[in-house]
Amino acid sequence: MVRYLIPLGLFLVLVVFLAIGLRRDPDTKLPSALLNKPAPAFSLPQLKDPTKTFSSDEMRGKVWLLNVWASWCVGCRDEHGWLLEYERSGVVPIYGLNYKDKNEDAVAWLEELGDPYVLSAVDLDGRVAIDYGVYGAPETYLIDQNGTIRFKQVGPLSPDVWSTKVLPLVQELNRQGTTK
C-alpha cells in the first residue's frame, strides 16, 4: 500500500510547487549591477534649452534623483503625479533623463502634466541609458554626494517605495553629509 502512496505524495509536492510558481508575479526586475558603484558621468543637452548642457559632475556634493522617463512610456504616466508630489515635498531634487523621446513630445508632456524636474537631460539615442543599465523606463536612481548610486527603482516610484526606501536613505545621506 505504502509503495503506491509514495508517487502520489511526490505528485502532490509537485502540484504545490507549480501552484506557488504559477501564482507568483513573474519578477522580471533585476538587481542593479551599478548599486553602490559610481554613477556613470554624462553631459547632455537640456530639454527645455538645448543650447545648454547638463553634466552629472555638476551634482557633486548633492544628493539627487535621476529619473529616466519618456512621453511614450506608459509607466511614466502612472508615476508622474507621484513625482510632482515628491518634488513639492522638497526632500530631494529630481533630475530627468528624457530617454529616446521626441523633443516636442517631451516638452508637450511636461506642459500638460506638470514638470517635477529641476531640468531634464536629453538622451536621444539612449547611449547614456546603456551606461546606466536602463532596460525599461521609468527607472530612478538615487545618487549621493560622492556620485555613488545608492538605490535603484525599476518601474514607477510608488509612494510605498518612496516612504520605505528613498525617504529614509535620503535623510541618512543628508545627515552623514552635514556631519562630515
Residue placing its CB nearer to another protein in the complex, 92 or 143: 143
As a whole number of angstroms, the distance between CA 115 and CA 107 comes to: 9
Determine the angle formed by the axes of helices 74-89 and 103-113, rounding to 10 degrees. Answer: 50
Nearer to another protein, 59 or 154 (CB): 154
In angstroms, the CA 168 to CA 35 distance is 17
Q: Is 147 left (phi over 0), alpha (psi -120 to 50) or beta?
A: left
In the complex, least distance from residue 90 CB atom to another protein, rounded to whole angstroms: 32
Q: Which is nearer to another protein, 13 or 175 (CB)?
A: 13
Least spacing, CB of residue 37 vs another protein, in Å = 8
Min. distance of Cβ 65 from another protein in angstroms? 19
DSSP bridge pairs for 140: 67, 153
Q: How far is the CB of 129 from another protein (least distance, A)?
A: 8
In the bound state with another protein, the residue whose beta carbon lies nearer, of 49 and 125, is 125
CB of 123 to another protein, least distance (A): 11
Which CB atom, from 81 or from 136, has the smaller least distance to another protein? Answer: 136
The residues that touch another protein, with contacts defined as CB under 8 A, are 28, 30-34, 100, 125-127, 129-136
Residue 163's φ and ψ, nearest 5 degrees, are -80, -30
Nearest to 139 by CA among 62, 64, 75, 45: 75
**CA nearest neighbour of 147 among 54, 41, 9:** 41
